[in-house]
Structure 1
């Protein structure tokens, strides 16, 4: 390691500080999701699937098993087992697509919404209050920054493996 205080971003400490805050947020988000999943006796993948289905419904769409597989990057066999678990627990249901009788959609249940709201509502209200504290004139720039960072991270395809010394 070098004596440079910010390993990658020595030219501008304020950039390093901003990116360190992003990393801290990302770690906190991952840790929170792990704690919430464990607290609800769900594994992380099941929780992500439930969130995906609810978000798809909130956007006016229909979640299909293949969409869940793609979103989670898991096999169709793993998706079937996941959906079986969430159906058995009363959180998701499979149904025939309303306009394409050959297709299956996955829907969340009222039980799932009640369970999620009762456990996460206070956290989401606190997050909304923190976001509301950001000055309105700063929000567009912050949103642009976060969207650009997300787009960049989504575009990263990986790196070569490390080699032994």
Structure 2
């Protein structure tokens, strides 16, 4: 490393305030990941199963039916993986498959009363602590609420999760090779 290189890896030393904000976000993310790991261990399921259960419960709060296909898309997993996931969560008593209310060819997935009870029992205290921490965040002067001090507009947050555009070279490498067919 040369002598004139900045001491910070990604950001210049002059970026102290934004770096502190990013570090606070990283700290929150680590704590959130650890909380989810504990919850999944306590509930005897893996993280993907927990994400699926959380999604089904959240959509159920809005009377929004969740199909296996929609769940697969939300979780970014294959239909085969979704079938195994649903088999596990149905066998454990967390979810039920029910006929789709409109499409007879499909089913919807709903959380059981036992799942709601277990989630509330295990996560209520943690959510109360999170709310207390959020309520302790001071309001910036001249702002009506804490939400107005959000440092990350949703469009900006979404842009950090997108993959950069692929170069033509990368795209060529992803193309499937064409099979040669014998010539008669």
Q: Normalised by the shorter chain, which TM-score bucket?
A: 0.7 to 0.9
Distance across 1 between alignment mates of 2:11 and 2:166: 20
Question: Paired residues, what number?
Answer: 160
1:85 is aligned to 2:83: no
1:15 is aligned to 2:18: yes
Partner of 1:68: 71
1:125 to 128, 137, 141: 128
Distance across 1 between alignment mates of 2:59 and 2:66: 6
Higher-Rg structure is: 2
1:6 to 2, 5, 8: 8
CA shift digits 1:136-159 (9 cap, x unpaired): 5342121x5163442122323588
- 3-state SS of 1:114 partner: helix
**8 Å CA contact 1:46, 1:86 repeated in 2:** yes
Distance across 2 between alignment mates of 1:6 and 1:146: 26
Distance across 2 between alignment mates of 1:94 and 1:140: 41
**8 Å CA contact 1:6, 1:16 repeated in 2:** no
Partner of 2:149: 141
Q: Which has the higher helix share?
A: 1
**8 Å CA contact 1:94, 1:104 repeated in 2:** yes
**8 Å CA contact 1:46, 1:82 repeated in 2:** yes
The alpha carbon displacement at 1:68 in A equals 1.2
In 2 relative to 1, CA 22–154 (structure 1 residues): closer, same or farther, beyond 3 Å?
A: same
In 2 relative to 1, CA 31–158 (structure 1 residues): closer, same or farther, beyond 3 Å?
A: farther
Across the aligned residues of Structure 1 and Structure 2, the Cα RMSD in angstroms comes to 2.3
- 3-state SS of 2:145 partner: coil
In 2 relative to 1, CA 60–140 (structure 1 residues): closer, same or farther, beyond 3 Å?
A: farther
In 2 relative to 1, CA 13–148 (structure 1 residues): closer, same or farther, beyond 3 Å?
A: farther
- Mean Cα displacement is larger for which, 95-104 or 120-129? 95-104
Distance across 1 between alignment mates of 2:68 and 2:31: 29
Distance across 2 between alignment mates of 1:43 and 1:61: 24
Task: Structure 2 unaligned segments of length 5 or more: list them.
Answer: 168-184
